[in-house]
Structure 1
Amino acid sequence: MDLRQLRYFVQIADCGNFSRAAEMLRVAQPSLSQQIRTLEDELGVDLFVRHARGVTLTDLGMQFCDHSRRIIQEADRAKEAVRSRSASPAGRVSVGLPTSACRGLSLHLFKAIAERLPNIQLHIVEAMTGYLDELVQVGRLDVALLYDHKAFEHVAWTEMMVEDLMLFVPTGSPLAELTSIPFAELFDLPMVLPARPNVARIVLEQLAARHNVEARAMDCDSLPAIAQLVRSSQYNTVMPHFAFATEIERGEMIAIPIIDPTPSWRLSVVVSQRTMNMRGSDGVARVMAEVIADLVDQGIWRARLKSEKSYAARNPR
């Protein structure tokens, strides 16, 4: 067997259909079928159960699929490790972005990487900060932007800025005329927030506990769903301004500062020390730090930069 056969096999397993897999792999279906028959003959087992709607993995097929994925991943990582030693950063770099920042940052980051690091293949992963932090620690993400990051042995980080959280209400709400709202009054309103371990929820609940406030809110871990709930005038939410900048620009939401006290969090650019492409990861982290700083300087991202905002200054190589 060879890597090509393993890639074919995994793609078919993911698609559940030979014709769809052939289309995605851009190979002829008869050729793809022949490769799988050859692989099954070599192993002496059936990897798939064929049926009218496509195929499903047999029990042995599922075991072999897990092994195949690890083999492919290690082969790709080995290739990236060699590529990363070239004069110019190259290869695949996976970047984790929290949900509240992904929509506003992704386009700027893709453009900057294409201009400054044309040999880098960027892979964006959107998720909650807690999950992204775990992926960075074990090396499944190369770079990430994290809120209130805690120090761990296998990561390097540069704290970029501090961002305030704000109350978001629909444009037609009576609250839209407010210039600010005290934190103590926040949870008297119908609220929807991401559930723990989302960092925003943790920040708000810890602050509420210190000020004897009961942090009541409906749980929702989907940012688009939260936006829809706020636009429908049923709920309000607390997020950074950057999370709903598009809705504010379209006149669908109003952001109201929270005072006495103002909830906030710190943002850091984090690099896994277990990455197989350290040169590429460092390059992407530097570009991302510069893009973020530019967005803040332009007033697009409302936050307060740390005095040392350069990733390169904090992480010389």
Structure 2
Amino acid sequence: MEIRQLKYFVRIVELGSVSRAAADLFIAQPALSHQMSNLEEELKVKLLSRSVRGVSATEAGEVFYRHARAMLRQMDRMRTDVQHAGDYPQGLVSVGLPSSAATLLAPPLIAEAATRYPDIQLQITESLSGHLEELVVNGRIEMSLLFDPLATDMGASRRKVSSHLDVRPLLVEDLFLLSAHGVGAGDDVSLAQAASCALALPGRSNVTRQIIDAAFQSAGLDMRVIAELDSLATIRAVVASGVGATIGSASIPGGTAGLRIQRVTEPALQRRLSLCTFDIVPLSSAAHRIVELISEVTARLVSAGQWPGASPVPQP
């Protein structure tokens, strides 16, 4: 097995086409196909499946893809670490941020990183937690902040909650009812009161939506969903128009000006935000610095009250 074969295979899977990969790699298509045949023959397993829609990895190919990505990334990191060993880390560090977290964290994180580590370039991907988790596990990004339901064993400051993910809990965040006019006169609203609202929510694959669905089901309450949207900015626009309300973070993109914000209680709805890394491949020295910096900046925002509804992770 050769390093170039790993590069070839990864590119075919990412582009979904042998011909496009051949053009991208500047190699003749027959030669590329021959390399993949040799690789499958050596491993005694079929790695690629061809159909009218293109080329995709088989189940064995998915496993091989993750390991190939990890090996190639580790080689890049080794080269960078050796070349820039010492007190001045350099290189590209890829970070995933859910949209609501990016709204609060990205500006101070970028500013602090630029001051402390001017030779580190941050590459930030903003998306939904589910997609970001996939990118981390596949080795496409080095780390990501991910939301998940608040667990009952939050005493552990650092534990694994998913295969090949090392998870560092950062904060616990309350969820709020956001609406144009509010429900009742108080700052809090019960889940039963929230059930009276027409809701615009993220799709069912979204972690926050899963928390909301579970709470309504547990309470035996019906939920009236008028629209499912993946864009938090669009959800905010719908809420601001008065068409419907939503349940989510008070740090919604676009801000909460003009919106009524009421903490959901009875029961309280909460989610945990954790910093996750792929545990198969060691982080570069630059990535280690950014991991620590994210933890530091997040803790500072929570302590200063600049992260609405957030509190530190409970300690044992």
Fold conserved between structures, TM > 0.5: yes
* 2:186 aligns with one of 169, 174, 178: 178
Find the aligned partners of 1:206 and 1:72 in 2 and give their Cα distance. Answer: 36
TM-aligned CA deviation for residue 184 of structure 1: 1.5
Query: Which of the pair has more CA radius of gyration?
Result: 1
Partner of 2:109: 109
Give the CA deviation at 1:72.
11
Select the residue among 213, 219, 228 that pairs with 1:211.
219
Look up the match of 1:156: 166
Q: Does residue 96 in structure 1 map to residue 103 in structure 2?
A: no
Counting only pairs closer than 5 Å after superposition, residues 241-280 of structure 1 correspond to structure 2 as: 241-244=250-253, 247-248=255-256, 251-275=257-281, 277-280=283-286
Residues in 1 aligned to 2:166 and 2:286: alpha-carbon distance in whole angstroms:
15
Q: After superposition, where does 1:1-317 map in structure 2 within 5 Å?
A: 43=28, 78-85=75-82, 86-87=85-86, 88-148=88-148, 151-170=161-180, 173=181, 175=183, 177-217=185-225, 218-244=227-253, 247-248=255-256, 251-275=257-281, 277-302=283-308, 303-306=310-313
Alpha-carbon distance between aligned partners in 2 of 1:241 and 1:168, rounded to the nearest angstrom: 8
Distance 1:185 1:174 in 2: 10
C-alpha deviations, 1:230-281, integer Å up to 9, x for none?
111111111111225x533xx3212111111110011111122244643222
Distance 1:108 1:304, change over 3 A: same
Query: Deviations along 1:102-151, whole A, 9 cap, x unmatched?
Result: 12211111111112222211110111111111211222111111112771
How far apart are the structure 1 equivalents of 2:233 and 2:183? 22
Q: Which runs of 5+ in 2 are unaligned?
A: 5-10, 16-22, 31-53, 56-67, 150-159
Give the Cα–Cα distance (whole angstroms) in 2 for the partners of residues 102 and 156 of structure 1.
21
Give the TM-score, by structure 1 length.
Answer: 0.69
Give the Cα–Cα distance (whole angstroms) in 2 for the partners of residues 176 and 227 of structure 1. 20
CA displacement at 1:210 relative to structure 2: 0.9
- How many positions carry a matched residue from both structures? 247
Cα gap change, 1:296/1:283 in structure 2, threshold over 3 Å: closer, same or farther? Answer: same
Q: TM-score, normalization: structure 2?
A: 0.69
Q: Which residue of structure 1 aligns with residue 50 of structure 2?
A: none
Q: CA–CA distance in 2 between the matches of 1:216 and 1:81?
A: 53
The RMSD of aligned alpha carbons is 3.1
- State the one-letter code of the partner of 1:182: S
Q: 1:176 to 1:103 in 2, by over 3 A?
A: farther
Identical positions, percent: 26
Letter in 2 for 1:158: R
List gaps (5 residues or longer) in structure 1.
4-9, 15-35, 46-61, 64-70, 309-317
Match of 2:49 in 1: none
Query: Which deviates more from structure 2 when the two are superposed, residues 251-260 or residues 221-230?
Result: 251-260
Contact kept? 2:70, 2:280, Cα under 8 Å: no
Structure 1 Cα separation of the partners of residues 270 and 168 of structure 2: 18
Structure with the bigger percentage of helix = 1
CA–CA separation in structure 1 for the residues paired with 2:285 and 2:121: 13
Instruction: Report if the CA contact (8 A) 1:192-1:226 is conserved.
Output: yes
SS at match of 2:175: strand
Aligned residue in 2 for 1:59: none
CA distance in 1 between partners of 2:184 and 2:291 (Å): 38
Q: What is the CA distance between 1:77 and its match in structure 2?
A: 6.1
